[in-house]
Every structure is written in structure tokens, then in C-alpha cells.
Amino acid sequence: MFRIHALPAAQFQPLFSLSDEELAAHDIVRVTADAPNGFPCRVGLRDAEPGERLLLLPYEHHAVASPYRGSGAIYVREHAAEASPPADEVPEQLRRRLLSVRAYGADGMMRIADVVDGQQIETLIARFFDMPGVEYLHVHYARYGCYACRITREV
């Protein structure tokens, strides 16, 4: 069993009250979705609908003391409610994309990685969690390389 974790809404919602100039000082850009399925929100774990406002911002998704410390750009929808998918449920936002899945040990070191069609992610999750030393997974969108979510074992 596994669980997919969204990013916490509280961390990002105060940013929406900042001016564009204040956002720019933090390397953040306010954008409006102009097409479906092109703006994946990391808080709600769903794509923004055309017309929805989002922030595009840098985010440190792997804050570990290892060479695999990582950060990158993410989208967050303005009124996103924090998603909390049930165990073993994969949000549609992940299913419709090509994904890069990276498996890490407790020391923050990558153990293995692979690319998978989102429709087949459960098979890869099971294979990685069957490997000794794998503690958690990070999912990235394979084409753009952006962080999508974290996956942990559900005990």
C-alpha cells in the first residue's frame, strides 16, 4: 500500500496576496491557465481549468543533506484545497502524463529511478517499494522535469 502526498496549502496561500512586484522579488510569477491539462497544481493534485490563476514558483522539494538535494518550478492554484488522496489512489493529474519516479533511501540518496506512463504507475511503485533500502518516492513530470508529488508506504 502507498499514499500520495500533496504540498500543504498553508505554505502557499499567503503568497497570493502579494503584488506582482513582491512576487518577482521571490522569483515567483502569477499566471492564468489558458488551456486544460497544462497547469498541474501540486497542492490540489489536479490541473487548473482555463481562466484559473496560479503561481509559478521555485520550490525545494528534496531538502536533504545529500547530492540529490533538489528544487524546481511548481504551479499552485490560487484557491487550491490541499488534496489528501486515499491510500493506493492515483490522481488523474498523474495518470495523464509521462512520469519520472525516483526512489530514495532514508539518507536522501537515490536508489533507482525509471520513467513510466501514468496509467502504469502502481506497478512501478510496488516494484520500487519491494526493493531493500527504499524509503520514499518522488514523482516528476518526465517531459518538463518538474516535481509532482511524494509517495510513501502506507502501513
Where in the chain are the domains? 2-153
The answer to whether 5 and 138 are in contact (CB under 8 A) is: no
- pLDDT tens, position by position, 25-66: 999 999 999 999 999 999 999 999 999 999 999 999 999 999
Nearest to 7 by CA among 46, 50, 52, 64: 46
Residue position matching grid coordinates 504540498: 7
Which residue type sits at 9? Answer: A
pTM for the full predicted model: 0.95
**pLDDT of residue 74 exceeding 90:** yes
Quote the pLDDT of residue 155.
81
